[in-house]
Amino acid sequence: MPHDTPLISTIVGGLVLAFIFGALAHRLRMPPLIGYLIAGVLVGPHTPGYVADQSLAPELAEIGVILLMFGVGLHFSLKDLMSVRGIALPGAIAQIAFATLLGWGLGALMGWPTGGSLVFGLALSVASTVVLLKALQERRLVETERGRIAVGWLIVEDLAMVLALVLIPAAAGIGGEGHAPAEPLSAGLNRLFDLDLGIGGMIATTLVKVALFVALMLVFGRKLIPWTMHRIAHTGSRELFRLGVLAIALGVAFGAAKLFGVSLALGAFFAGMVLAESELSHRAAQESLPLRDAFAVLFFVSVGMLFDPKILIDRPLPILATIFIIVIGKSVAALLIVLAFKKPLATALTISASLGQIGEFSFILAALGVDLGLLPEEGRDLILAGAIISIILNPLLFFLCDRLRPLLEGTRREESTAEPAVAPAEETAPSEDDEVHPSGLHGHAIVVGYGRVGKIVGQNLKSAGTPFLVIEDSDKRVGELKAQGIEAFLGNAAATETLNLANLPAARSIAIAIPNAFEACRIAEQARSANPSILIVARAHSDAEVEALKQYGADTVIMGEREIALGMVDRLAQVHHESVAYEDSAYEDSHGPDTIIATDHPPPERE
């Protein structure tokens, strides 16, 4: 190579290996993130061969964190944030306290000083933003109530970390456990007194800075950012719009961190949130998606790089204890806290599973602890190993929670039938977390997706008096449908458990009115195997999609673009007096000449 290019080689090495191992993991039916972590271990310093730049990788990963949090902010309004405050604030604080206590206990057992044990505990108490958000996004939970609580919880943890990063160095000074230079006793006491005020002052300054940033964003940012984006959208330049989205997400996050001492993630979240109420937020989210995913992958690679596999052999017991605290201790604490708030079990399980891991903040705390001489190097190694293993175990935790849920709900139901009079109101109130029972309809139609297409289908079925139900992915739409008295199920219809709720064997027809053909194929396939005689009508946007859907069992596939063309031809035929025939040469090429469709409309009468 003509010159040294650490940035390029880190990005290329990280992405290429992550791609290879991610694809391999997928092939082996494991979550791709395991592949990304392995790629990280391979480009890390603890394995032979190529070593990526160890300071650049985590910095690149931060860009992933920023874009992820920006994306979440885009789905969040201030109202959403406030609505989960009641549970997220006390919940996160109680969980941090509990996990810190456990970590401190383990540290004490290992003979570490109190300060070091506390830093260790604190590092085990904060979940990784990337892992949590990726898990929620994969399960399409970000916009559900439990997703909002989990994100609110994350934001409280984030704020707590901002405070901790300011306070730990100060406390290390007074604690005397650090390698601070020795002082005469009187000077030490004076310092203690000063610092007492100083710590109070520091907390106050940090809080004031955070408050100032939030206020600025809510007062000025809320006007300025949507206004800028609208102006850019009006230029019609896609490139500029994309650039605008990136500039705002990265710029606000960086400014928040440099000027106000707020974390990058929190800054990005607010940048997204002030744009959330604008109708452009959807487009902004789409534009930031590809970069976000690429950089989030680099996050996992950078975590993998820190991991030294040798520790698994050297210190198996302390690692087991650390993982126990992260995966079980924290999860159980979160579960109990959420249940204490009388939230449904499904909510509690999702939140506790999503928090049963640690990541980027823990690394920062560990590094700080070691730098200050509080935390022994061994503590940092345990944190790193705990992080990678808990991230690998996280999908498993979600899987277990899904499995556990029916069992636990069974026992809860038995309890509640024993004492029916005391069933709490929250349990009976309709919510997305209530246990859903399959539909009892027979001879019905199933409408999948209730957007621009599905809505028209549904309205027509309704006015014709045909019994039907809807499967929708957006909780807002499901809420609206239920309010209208229409039977609707929330979830991704491509998932078997959601589709089964529609009572396919008894249904007469299914209209797959979603834009994603890949998911539509999965739905058609399952519908056909559950009910060989069901009429499957599907939506497509290209000839290739039409073919694929037919292969998977669809009886009729309506290609959106062709129908638009037909509609246009139809309209033209009414104006031009000669008969305009619809002709689609592309379609004709592949299907023969008899597919020319003439419009039925006679030309309008001349006045």
Helix (H) or strand (E) holding 138: helix 129-138
CB of residue 452 vs ligand AMP: minimum separation in angstroms? 3
Alpha carbons 36 and 394: distance in angstroms, whole number: 14
* Nearer to ligand AMP among residue 15 and residue 493 (C-beta): 493
CB of residue 456 vs ligand AMP: minimum separation in angstroms? 9
Tokens of 180: 């601070």
- Residue 422 burial (CB count, 10 A): 8
Alpha carbons 50 and 19: distance in angstroms, whole number: 16
Alpha carbons 38 and 190: distance in angstroms, whole number: 51
* Nearer to ligand AMP among residue 256 and residue 493 (C-beta): 493
Task: Detail the DSSP E strand segments found in 378-518.
Answer: 445-448, 468-472, 487-490, 509-512
User: Residues for the chain: how many in total?
Assistant: 607
Asked if residues 599 and 582 have their Cβ atoms less than 8 Å apart, the reply is yes
φ/ψ of 448, rounded to 5, equals -100, 115
Alpha carbons 275 and 253: distance in angstroms, whole number: 14
* Nearer to ligand AMP among residue 508 and residue 541 (C-beta): 541
CB of residue 112 vs ligand AMP: minimum separation in angstroms? 50
Tokens of 506: 């008894």
* Nearer to ligand AMP among residue 180 and residue 495 (C-beta): 495
CB of residue 533 vs ligand AMP: minimum separation in angstroms? 23
CB of residue 140 vs ligand AMP: minimum separation in angstroms? 9
* Nearer to ligand AMP among residue 345 and residue 546 (C-beta): 546
Alpha carbons 182 and 241: distance in angstroms, whole number: 57
* Nearer to ligand AMP among residue 280 and residue 520 (C-beta): 520
Asked if residues 244 and 256 have their Cβ atoms less than 8 Å apart, the reply is no
Alpha carbons 554 and 538: distance in angstroms, whole number: 6
Alpha carbons 14 and 297: distance in angstroms, whole number: 8
Query: What is the contact surface with ligand AMP in residues (CB under 6 A)?
Result: 448-454, 471-474, 477, 492-494, 513-516, 519
Tokens of 561: 């673009």
- Residue 485 burial (CB count, 10 A): 8
* Nearer to ligand AMP among residue 308 and residue 525 (C-beta): 525
- The three-point CA angle 281-266-271 to 5° equals 30
Q: By C-alpha distance, which of 266, 276, 273 is closest to 155?
A: 266
- For the chain, how big is the Rg over CA atoms in Å? 28
CB of residue 572 vs ligand AMP: minimum separation in angstroms? 26
* Nearer to ligand AMP among residue 379 and residue 491 (C-beta): 491
Asked if residues 330 and 124 have their Cβ atoms less than 8 Å apart, the reply is yes
* Nearer to ligand AMP among residue 46 and residue 455 (C-beta): 455
Alpha carbons 560 and 566: distance in angstroms, whole number: 10
CB of residue 498 vs ligand AMP: minimum separation in angstroms? 7
Would you give the DSSP letter of residue 220?
Answer: I
CB of residue 144 vs ligand AMP: minimum separation in angstroms? 13
* Nearer to ligand AMP among residue 451 and residue 603 (C-beta): 451
- Residue 579 burial (CB count, 10 A): 11
CB of residue 474 vs ligand AMP: minimum separation in angstroms? 4
CB of residue 558 vs ligand AMP: minimum separation in angstroms? 12
**Which residue shows structure tokens 């999609």?**
545
* Nearer to ligand AMP among residue 206 and residue 526 (C-beta): 526
Q: What share of the chain is helix, strand, coil (3-state, %, to 5)?
A: 70, 5, 25
CB of residue 538 vs ligand AMP: minimum separation in angstroms? 12
Report which residue type is found at 412: R
* Nearer to ligand AMP among residue 452 and residue 601 (C-beta): 452
CB of residue 568 vs ligand AMP: minimum separation in angstroms? 20
* Nearer to ligand AMP among residue 209 and residue 541 (C-beta): 541
* Nearer to ligand AMP among residue 118 and residue 520 (C-beta): 520
CB of residue 491 vs ligand AMP: minimum separation in angstroms? 7
Give CA separation, 503 vs 171, 405, 439, 511, 583, in Å.
61, 22, 6, 14, 40
Asked if residues 292 and 64 have their Cβ atoms less than 8 Å apart, the reply is yes
Alpha carbons 448 and 521: distance in angstroms, whole number: 12
Report which residue type is found at 594: D
CB of residue 488 vs ligand AMP: minimum separation in angstroms? 10
Asked if residues 229 and 241 have their Cβ atoms less than 8 Å apart, the reply is yes
> Which residue is at the shortest CB distance from ligand AMP?
451
Would you give the DSSP letter of residue 207?
Answer: H
CB of residue 479 vs ligand AMP: minimum separation in angstroms? 12
* Nearer to ligand AMP among residue 280 and residue 448 (C-beta): 448
Q: Are strands 487-490 and 468-472 parallel, antiparallel or unpaired?
A: parallel
